[in-house]
Structure 1
Amino acid sequence: MTEDEQPMKTRLIKDVAEVKEDQLRLLLITDLKEFPRDRHLDTVEAALKGGVRDLQLREKELPLPDLFSLALVLRQLTSHYGARLYINDRVDVALMVDADGVHLPESGLPAGEVKARYPHLLVGVSTHSWEAARQAEEAGADYITFSPIYDTPSKREYGAPQGVDALKEVAGGMKIPVLALGGINLERIPEVMRSGAHGVALIRGIWNSTHIEDASLQYMQAIKGEF
């Protein structure tokens, strides 16, 4: 190893990202296709004003140049509010905009390979079974989402709802944070958290609200047991 290589290796070791206790209590996943384009930033900012501190950019229908442009702006916006930004699937975009993490689909890039090359990124994986959850943890994921807990249109392709008993089994058997996803509303938050989830991942619960800032605040309070 050359003298130039040694400092870089030391820096990377120090920069390994780890999920902190207060992180990923509420991971809000973007779903901006229902909003006019000129309202996208206002919509996201409302959620950030309401207390959301973990935002995943997941807009599969956007052309790559548009996704990259949106990611750049959301990086600035999330940084302004002290929030973390995760990019769905696209490691290249996450690196280019200096995102905090990347979220991989169950059949996506190996979490361990991504983590080994880019240890400063938080790496999450979507899972839909106990076996997939175990494999993601063993591969080096920093956290997982487990879904669907309840019935929800966005997750019906993955089969019947898992239910809170399956969530309890997975959450109790993992050393990494497990985020519950799928059909979660305010009334279901206590049940989900009692099942051992580290937090929840949401889409419709907040974006479908007529008052996004208020809804975000209520979800954050519910997760903390204050609502």
Structure 2
Amino acid sequence: MTRPAFDLGLYLVTDPSIGQPRALLDTVAAAVAGGVTLVQLRDPLAETGALVAAARALVALLRPKGIPLIVNDRTDVALAADAEGVHVGQGDMDARDVRRLLGPDRIVGLSVGSPAEYAASAEALAAVDYLGTGPIRMTATKADAGAAIGFEGLGAVARLTALPIVAIGGIGAAEIAPSVAAGARGVAVVSAIMAAADPKAAAEALRAELDRARARQPETAA
């Protein structure tokens, strides 16, 4: 495996508590058909065996379509399932250790919610391929997400780095254009797709809004 190209544009983060009883694979398949460009498997309560099985099923679904799978926090699961990468937060395994375990040919993402967190992460940034920045709005899907930073906070982080940034936290259609204007390469969504009655239609609408926002800000295009 060589490190895959990736597009942060419309980044789906899964949540097992949303969208039930619809199957995870069905939701992700519909979302990808609607324009999702990257998928993260996030399920902090899942047992390891179940998480590996879910990751393998997603890899089998996504890889033929050229869409990478990122596993939240669990480097061991990503390796077991041959996923394309891992995303870690400030309290998770150090990104440098993730890189050492994954090697040079996989994707590493890091959550950075403020200039202070960016400064605290300075030594790890060379191991990272992209930053997740937020929450833009208050969100109920991640209890430890911290206070909302808004578009000003997003812009403050974007001005510090050349790494591509994906905005996250309470993102819906209305947040896409301001996020791109503030310096985000794309947006990460959870409820806007996972909770939608029609995930494909929801993804199509979000992708259309993203494409319009990117057209107005060509420097953010992938």
- TM (normalized to structure 1)? 0.85
Paired with 2:20 and 2:164, the residues of 1 have a C-alpha distance of 34
Map Cα deviations across residues 139-160 of structure 1 (whole Å, 9 max, x no partner).
1211111111112223564443
SS of the residue corresponding to residue 165 of structure 1 reads helix
Match of 1:132 in 2: 117
Paired with 1:191 and 1:61, the residues of 2 have a C-alpha distance of 33
Paired with 2:62 and 2:134, the residues of 1 have a C-alpha distance of 26
Match of 2:220 in 1: none
Paired with 1:37 and 1:208, the residues of 2 have a C-alpha distance of 11
TM-align CA RMSD: 2.1
Residue 80 (str. 1) matches residue 64 (str. 2): yes
SS of the residue corresponding to residue 225 of structure 1 reads helix
Question: What percentage of residue pairs aligned between the two structures are identical?
Answer: 33
Map Cα deviations across residues 87-120 of structure 1 (whole Å, 9 max, x no partner).
1111111112111110112111111222244111
- Kindly indicate whether the alpha-carbon contact (under 8 Å) linking 2:136 and 2:154 is maintained by their aligned counterparts in 1: yes
- Cα 1:137–1:51, aligned 2, differ >3 Å: closer, same or farther? farther
Give structure 1 stretches of 5+ with no counterpart.
Answer: 1-11
Paired with 1:179 and 1:40, the residues of 2 have a C-alpha distance of 23
Map Cα deviations across residues 174-216 of structure 1 (whole Å, 9 max, x no partner).
1111111111110121111111111111111111211100111
Q: Give how far 1:36 is off.
A: 4.2
Residue 114 (str. 1) matches residue 108 (str. 2): no
Query: Which residue identity does 1:161 align to in structure 2?
Result: A
If you compute each CA radius of gyration, which structure gives the higher value, 1 or 2? 1
Match of 2:85 among 101, 106, 111: 101
- Kindly indicate whether the alpha-carbon contact (under 8 Å) linking 2:12 and 2:40 is maintained by their aligned counterparts in 1: yes
- TM (normalized to structure 2)? 0.86
> Residues 35-114 of structure 1 correspond to what in structure 2 (within 5 A)?
35-36=19-20, 39-114=23-98
